[in-house]
Structure 1
Amino acid sequence: MVDKRLAELKFQQPIGIEISEIYSQPKEVDKSVSGFVISLGQAVAIVIVVLLFFMGLRSGLLIGLILLLTVLGTFVFMKYFAIDLQRISLGALVIALGMLVDNAIVVVEGILVGTQKGRTRLQAATDIVTQTKWPLLGATVIAVTAFAPIGLSQDSTGEYCGTLFTVLLISLMLSWFTAISLTPFFADIFFKGQKVKEGENNDPYNGFVFVMYKKFLDFCMRRAWLTVALLIGMLVGSLYGFTHIKQAFFPSSTTPMFLSDIWLPEGTDIRATNTKLKVIENWLLEQDGVSHVTTTAGKGLQRFMLTYTPEKSYASYGEIVTRVESYEVLDELMLRYREYVANNFPEINYKLKKIELGPGGGAKIEARIIGSDPTVLRTIAAQVVDIMNADPGATNIRHDWRERTKVLEPLFNESQARRYGITKSDMDDFLQMSFSGKSIGVYRDGTTLMPIVGRLTEKERVDFRNIEGMKIWSPALSEYIPLQQIMLGYEVRWEDPLIVRKNRKRMLTIMADPDLLGEETAATLQKRLQSQIEAIEMPPGYSLEWGGEYESSADAQESLFQTMPMGYLFMFLITVFLFNSVKEPLIVWLTVPLAVIGVASGLLLLDTPFGFMALLGFLSLSGMLLKNGIVLIDQIELEINSGKSPYKAVVEAALSRVRPVCMAAITTILGMIRCCRIFSSSLWR
Structure 2
Amino acid sequence: MARSRYLRVHDLPFPAQHDIRSTSDNVEKLERFLKQYDIVKEVTTTIGQGAPRFMLTYGPEKQYDAYGQMIIRVENREDVITIISKIREFAAQNELDGQLKIKRMEIGPSTDAKIEARFSGPDPVVLRQLAQEAKSILTKDDGAHSIRDDWRERSKVLQPVFNEQKARRLGISKTDLDQLLLTSVSGKTVGLYRDGTKMLPIVARSPEAERYSVENLQDLQVFSPVLNVYVPASQIVDSFEVVWEDSLIMRRDRKRTITVMADHDVIGNETPAKLFARVKANIEAIELPQGYTMEWGGEYESSTDAQKAIFGSLPIGYLSMFMITVLLFNSVRKPLVIWSTVPLAIIGVTAGLVVFQAPFSFMALLGLLSLSGMLIKNGIVLMDQINLEVDSGKDPYQAVFDSGVSRVRPVSMAAITTILGMIPLLFDVFFKSMAVTIMFGLGFATILTLIVIPVVYCLAFKIKAPKHA
Q: Is the pair's TM-score, using the shorter chain for normalization, greater than 0.5?
A: yes
Q: Is the 8 A contact 2:91 2:97 kept in 1?
A: no
Q: Alignment partner of 1:609: what SS?
A: coil
Structure 1 residue 635 corresponds to structure 2 residue 385: yes
Which residue number in structure 1 is paired with residue 467 of structure 2?
none
Q: Is the 8 A contact 2:13 2:96 kept in 1?
A: no
State how far apart, in whole Å, the 2-side matches of 1:464 and 1:575 are.
83
Structure 1 residue 456 corresponds to structure 2 residue 201: no
Q: Is the 8 A contact 2:184 2:211 kept in 1?
A: no
* Structure 1 residue 301: Cα displacement: 1.0
Deviation digits for residues 248-284 of structure 1 (CA, Å, limit 9, x no counterpart): xx3123xx33221023233333232222111111111
* Structure 1 residue 397: Cα displacement: 0.5
TM-score, normalized by length of structure 1? 0.59
Which residue number in structure 2 is paired with residue 329 of structure 1?
79
Q: 1:348 to 1:475 in 2, by over 3 A?
A: farther
Structure 1 residue 557 corresponds to structure 2 residue 313: no
Q: Is the 8 A contact 2:45 2:71 kept in 1?
A: yes
Structure 1 residue 597 corresponds to structure 2 residue 320: no
- Equivalent residue letter for 1:426: D
Structure 1 residue 620 corresponds to structure 2 residue 402: no
- Equivalent residue letter for 1:652: D
Which residue number in structure 2 is paired with residue 370 of structure 1?
120
- How many pairs were matched up? 425
- Equivalent residue letter for 2:347: I
State how far apart, in whole Å, the 1-side matches of 2:316 and 2:168 are.
73
* Structure 1 residue 460: Cα displacement: 6.0
Which residue number in structure 2 is paired with residue 541 of structure 1?
291
Which residue number in structure 2 is paired with residue 299 of structure 1?
49
Deviation digits for residues 142-168 of structure 1 (CA, Å, limit 9, x no counterpart): xxxxxxxxxxxxxxxxxxxxxxxxxxx
Deviation digits for residues 221-257 of structure 1 (CA, Å, limit 9, x no counterpart): xxxxxxxxxxxxxxxxxxxxxxxxxxxxx3123xx33
Show the 5 A alignment for 1:95-174.
none
Which residue number in structure 2 is paired with residue 649 of structure 1?
399
Which residue number in structure 2 is paired with residue 501 of structure 1?
251
* Structure 1 residue 605: Cα displacement: 4.7
Residue 152 of structure 2, aligned match among 394, 402, 408: 402
* Structure 1 residue 601: Cα displacement: 3.2
Q: Is the 8 A contact 1:439 1:451 kept in 2?
A: no
- Equivalent residue letter for 1:459: E
* Structure 1 residue 451: Cα displacement: 12
Deviation digits for residues 572-594 of structure 1 (CA, Å, limit 9, x no counterpart): 11111211222211211121122
Show the 5 A alignment for 1:570-585.
570-585=320-335
- Equivalent residue letter for 1:510: V
TM-score, normalized by length of structure 2? 0.84
Q: Alignment partner of 1:624: what SS?
A: helix
Show the 5 A alignment for 1:68-107.
none
State how far apart, in whole Å, the 2-side matches of 1:535 and 1:313 are.
36
Q: Alignment partner of 2:128: what SS?
A: helix
State how far apart, in whole Å, the 2-side matches of 1:489 and 1:425 are.
17
Which residue number in structure 2 is paired with residue 320 of structure 1?
70
Which residue number in structure 1 is paired with residue 2 of structure 2?
251
Q: Is the 8 A contact 2:137 2:282 kept in 1?
A: yes
State how far apart, in whole Å, the 1-side matches of 2:368 and 2:125 are.
48
Q: 1:526 to 1:620 in 2, by over 3 A?
A: same
Q: 1:661 to 1:461 in 2, by over 3 A?
A: farther
Structure 1 residue 427 corresponds to structure 2 residue 192: no
* Structure 1 residue 441: Cα displacement: 11
Show the 5 A alignment for 1:348-387.
349-387=99-137
Greater length-normalized contact order (CA 8 Å, ≥ 6 residues apart): 1
Q: 1:611 to 1:538 in 2, by over 3 A?
A: same
Which residue number in structure 2 is paired with residue 389 of structure 1?
139
State how far apart, in whole Å, the 2-side matches of 1:546 and 1:499 are.
19
- Equivalent residue letter for 2:24: N
Q: 1:470 to 1:626 in 2, by over 3 A?
A: same
- Equivalent residue letter for 2:118: R
* Structure 1 residue 318: Cα displacement: 0.5
Q: 1:682 to 1:551 in 2, by over 3 A?
A: closer
Q: 1:414 to 1:303 in 2, by over 3 A?
A: same
Q: Is the 8 A contact 2:119 2:295 kept in 1?
A: yes
Which stretch of structure 1 is more off in the superposition, 354-363 or 633-642? 354-363
State how far apart, in whole Å, the 1-side matches of 2:155 and 2:333 are.
71
* Structure 1 residue 433: Cα displacement: 1.7
Structure with greater proportional helix content? 1
Deviation digits for residues 609-656 of structure 1 (CA, Å, limit 9, x no counterpart): 211222232123222110011111111111111111221111111112
Which residue number in structure 1 is paired with residue 61 of structure 2?
311
Which stretch of structure 1 is more off in the superposition, 598-607 or 432-441? 432-441
Q: 1:278 to 1:345 in 2, by over 3 A?
A: farther
Which stretch of structure 1 is more off in the superposition, 313-322 or 262-271? 262-271
Which residue number in structure 2 is paired with residue 218 of structure 1?
none
- Equivalent residue letter for 1:647: Y
State how far apart, in whole Å, the 2-side matches of 1:286 and 1:601 are.
42
Q: Alignment partner of 1:332: what SS?
A: helix
* Structure 1 residue 553: Cα displacement: 1.0
State how far apart, in whole Å, the 2-side matches of 1:433 and 1:511 are.
37
- Equivalent residue letter for 2:63: S
* Structure 1 residue 320: Cα displacement: 1.1
Q: 1:653 to 1:683 in 2, by over 3 A?
A: closer
Structure 1, unaligned runs of 5 or more: 1-249, 443-449
- Equivalent residue letter for 1:406: K
* Structure 1 residue 484: Cα displacement: 0.9
Which stretch of structure 1 is more off in the superposition, 604-613 or 349-358? 604-613
- Equivalent residue letter for 2:208: K
Q: Is the 8 A contact 2:107 2:429 kept in 1?
A: no
Structure 1 residue 664 corresponds to structure 2 residue 421: no
Which residue number in structure 2 is paired with residue 487 of structure 1?
237
Which stretch of structure 1 is more off in the superposition, 658-667 or 571-580? 658-667
Q: 1:441 to 1:369 in 2, by over 3 A?
A: farther
State how far apart, in whole Å, the 1-side matches of 2:387 and 2:61 are.
63
Q: Alignment partner of 2:107: what SS?
A: coil
State how far apart, in whole Å, the 2-side matches of 1:533 and 1:512 are.
13
* Structure 1 residue 683: Cα displacement: 8.3
Residue 260 of structure 1, aligned match among 1, 4, 9: 9
Q: Is the 8 A contact 1:429 1:438 kept in 2?
A: no
Q: Alignment partner of 1:484: what SS?
A: helix
State how far apart, in whole Å, the 1-side matches of 2:189 and 2:313 are.
50
Which residue number in structure 1 is paired with residue 276 of structure 2?
526
State how far apart, in whole Å, the 2-side matches of 1:681 and 1:573 are.
37
Structure with greater proportional strand content? 2
Q: Alignment partner of 1:411: what SS?
A: strand
* Structure 1 residue 436: Cα displacement: 2.4
State how far apart, in whole Å, the 2-side matches of 1:595 and 1:366 are.
34
* Structure 1 residue 469: Cα displacement: 1.4
* Structure 1 residue 457: Cα displacement: 4.9
Q: 1:258 to 1:570 in 2, by over 3 A?
A: same
Q: Alignment partner of 1:674: what SS?
A: helix
Identical-pair percentage = 51
